[in-house]
Amino acid sequence: MVVYHLSTECYPVAKVGGLADVVGALPKYQNKIKGVDAKVVMPWYNKPFVYDHEFEVVFDGFIHQGSHMLQVQVMKEKTDTLGFELYMVKIPGLLDRDNPYGYQDESFQFLAFQHGILHWLSAMKIRPDVLHCHDYHTGLVPFMVEHCPEFEFLKGVKTIGTIHNGEYQGVMDWSMANYMPAFDRYKWGLLDWNKLINPLASMIKCSHAFTTVSEGYLEELYISFRGLESLVREEFGKAYGIINGIDTEVWNPETDPMLDFNFGIENAIEQKKKNKEKLCKEYGLKPELPLFAFIGRFATEKGADLLPDVVWRSIKQSYGALNIMILGSGNTYIENILKEYEHTYSNFALDVGYKEYLSHKIYASADFLLMPSRVEPCGLNQMYSMRYGTIPIVRYTGGLRDTVEDISTGGAGLNFTYAGVDDVIHAMNRGVSIYNQKKLMGDLIDANMRFDFAWEKSAEKYIALYNK
């Protein structure tokens, strides 16, 4: 079975969020299953990875988008160093940029990416068994395969769509249809939602099956999906929730090269303490106090707008009996307030931006991880933290409720119900109380590190879905 994963992100080539982690790991674990050959196709980016590895041109051709004629090159990484074949689509002026997102012509850019992939496969007579499309950036592929005469060779290829985050749907005006490859105009309804082209809606309509990255998130989409609730209910028969896994080869505290002190379950308490002491020294925090951490984008869906008040109130109410460290970026208003607090509170540390190595160090050092998410389709941070013996404090939503159970019901994490400052601080107070009970704290570290979130189980579920 030959599977092509189509995505705008893939770790470690280019990463903005959890999509990259999934696409960088799922194909590798699928390839460990007998009879499966999974590959990844993504845009070309001017990133260190592409300059540190050798690529070869496997296709060089042209596509037309409206009156534009675009050169399409497909580059293959020669050594398969990621555990799968990696192909990068290069289109001068569109798919040769520094970052995945943030450009005004994104709709045109993503159309070219999808068109370029299908043109390459058709021209080279490459017919996969499955095209696995990740998020709206590749959401028009299922439609194009079936209804664009240019891709007649691919007609009938099975398509699977995965919704990593339904908040982003890629909606565009119908004038953009002029830049799509020619299609059967009688099928326009498969692209339309509320008089606009909606790639995510089209993916749900046209794919043979679609998945969400947790069962809990699928349930939530039936009632809250930015206007697509009725559509997902209509198509429920081909909807599946499959929880993400984590790459336990990358996220392994025993071998992680980014840690100052490696550890396993048997010496986690001692070695986590050493990591924490070093991190606290570097950022001016007090290692004897509990360390709460937040890692992620400063976005309202992540509950990041709560952070300024959480920092201010928790430090004030605890009389400085805890540390808080935040690694992230995004909303400049949130950033600016937190920067002020960095100079106001000695118990607070901030690092703006995203640094992969620092996230590993924080997971290995922190006592608790805060995830006050309003929307969390799956969440990987809580799995990373548990793998590194850090207790997750999460809002009971989406994939967080599938993976973190409160200690009051036999779990090893802390849950709260509402995305509000009071609820977050109440959960943090519970954390401080646990921290002061050394045996309980040790038992929770041990329990969290024993959870198995490896990709093997989820990879097998995807293969079973492909076969079905």
Both tokens of 330, joined, read: 């995004």
**Together in a domain, 312 and 202:** no
**Together in a domain, 413 and 307:** yes
**Together in a domain, 6 and 144:** yes
Q: How many structural domains comprise the chain? A: 2
**Together in a domain, 272 and 237:** no
Assigned domain for 257 exists: no
**Together in a domain, 211 and 346:** no
Assigned domain for 151 exists: yes
**Together in a domain, 166 and 280:** no
Q: What is the CA radius of gyration of the chain?
A: 23
Q: For 261-344, where are the E strands, in sequence order?
A: 291-298, 323-330
**Together in a domain, 159 and 204:** yes
Assigned domain for 260 exists: no
Of 30, 165, 8, 11, give the one whose Cα is nearest residue 462.
30
Q: Which domain holds residue 203?
A: 2-247+456-467
Assigned domain for 105 exists: yes
- What is the chain's pLDDT, residue by residue, as a tens digit (468 residues)? 999 999 999 999 999 989 999 999 999 999 999 999 999 999 999 999 999 999 999 999 999 999 999 999 999 999 999 999 999 999 999 999 999 999 999 999 999 999 999 999 999 999 999 999 999 999 999 999 999 999 999 999 999 999 999 999 999 999 999 999 999 999 999 999 999 999 999 999 999 999 999 999 999 999 999 999 999 999 999 999 999 999 999 999 999 999 999 999 999 999 999 999 999 999 999 999 999 999 999 999 999 999 999 999 999 998 889 999 999 999 999 999 999 999 999 999 999 998 999 999 999 999 999 999 999 999 999 999 999 999 999 999 999 999 999 999 999 999 999 999 999 999 999 999 999 999 999 999 999 999 999 999 999 999 999 999
**Together in a domain, 284 and 424:** yes
**Together in a domain, 275 and 221:** no
Q: Considering the entire predicted model, what is its pTM?
A: 0.91
**Together in a domain, 390 and 353:** yes
**For 10, left (φ over 0), alpha (ψ -120 to 50), or beta?**
beta
Q: What is the pLDDT of residue 168?
A: 95
Distance from C-alpha of 34 to C-alpha of 24, rounded to nearest angstrom: 19
Assigned domain for 259 exists: no
Distance from C-alpha of 317 to C-alpha of 111, rounded to nearest angstrom: 52
The dihedral formed by the CA atoms of 194, 196, 198 and 203, expressed in degrees to the nearest 10: 80
- CATH (domain of 175): 3.40.50.2000
Q: What is the pLDDT of residue 14?
A: 96
**Together in a domain, 433 and 460:** no
Any binding-site annotation on 438? no
